[in-house]
Chain A
Amino acid sequence: NAGVTQTPKFQVLKTGQSMTLQCAQDMNHEYMSWYRQDPGMGLRLIHYSVGAGITDQGEVPNGYNVSRSTTEDFPLRLLSAAPSQTSVYFCASSWESAWGNEQFFGPGTRLTVL
């Protein structure tokens, strides 16, 4: 099993550009989520999904869109990149909700917005 994979590993964008961060898992997990990690702060939840076709907002959803057309894939779209979105982005998956279940994390995407 590859676990949770993310692409790209690094990305530099100009303000106003759009892009999609890819996330895939091969563990047949129902629950997937996107976090951003900023220095001196805990992980903040952007969006999550409890199964194919179902998504919901997390703590910091503005400026991001998600979709979940398959169990395996959960892409994160930045609609119009802003410098405030410079961060490290992690995708995670688990069997069910985060409650009492181990979350498996991808290696992260380091995004810089100029």
Chain B
Amino acid sequence: GEDVEQSLFLSVREGDSSVINCTYTDSSSTYLYWYKQEPGAGLQLLTYIFSNMDMKQDQRLTVLLNKKDKHLSLRIADTQTGDSAIYFCAESNRDSNYQLIWGAGTKLIIKP
């Protein structure tokens, strides 16, 4: 079945860029998402990209999609302490009846 993989942890220094990576197996994925979960809270949509796009930028966030390698990344420029959270990658496609397939989440740790 479909699978979405992420590293469990990423540690960066405040002010540096964070790059969170995600790989997926489903070649028919059409939407790929990044959600953010702050401690003790539910998930919140950060951004998403349609599979006919290579890149999407929104302020400090840049999403890159490499369809050939089935690789998705989220870059956070000028990482701040408020960016500390777990970041989930997810994908959806028609074959899975539009259900989201989730990665396990990457915990972003900010070092002062």
Which A residues form the contact surface with B (CB < 8 A)? 4, 40-45, 48, 58-59, 90, 92, 97-100, 102-103, 105-108
**B44 and A48 form a contact (CB under 8 A):** no
Q: From the candidates B30, B41, B102, B103, name the one contacting A99 in the complex (CB within 8 A).
A: B30
**B99 and A42 form a contact (CB under 8 A):** no
Given A40-B8, A42-B101, A42-B103, check contact A98 B92 (CB 8 Å).
Answer: yes
Given A42-B101, A43-B102, check contact A100 B50 (CB 8 Å).
Answer: yes
Interface size class for chain B? 20 to 34
- The interface residues of chain B lying within 8 Å CB-to-CB of A106 are 42
Q: Lowest 10 A-B CB distances belong to which pairs?
A: A42-B102, A105-B42, A99-B98, A97-B98, A43-B102, A102-B45, A105-B43, A98-B100, A99-B92, A42-B104
**B88 and A43 form a contact (CB under 8 A):** yes
| B110 CB within 8 Å of chain A | no
- The interface residues of chain A lying within 8 Å CB-to-CB of B8 are 40
| B76 CB within 8 Å of chain A | no
**Chain B residue at minimum C-beta to C-beta distance from A38:** B104
**A48 and B99 form a contact (CB under 8 A):** yes
In the bound assembly, the distance between CA atoms of A43 and B104 in angstroms comes to 7
- The interface residues of chain B lying within 8 Å CB-to-CB of A100 are 30-31, 48, 50, 92
- The interface residues of chain A lying within 8 Å CB-to-CB of B40 are 107-108
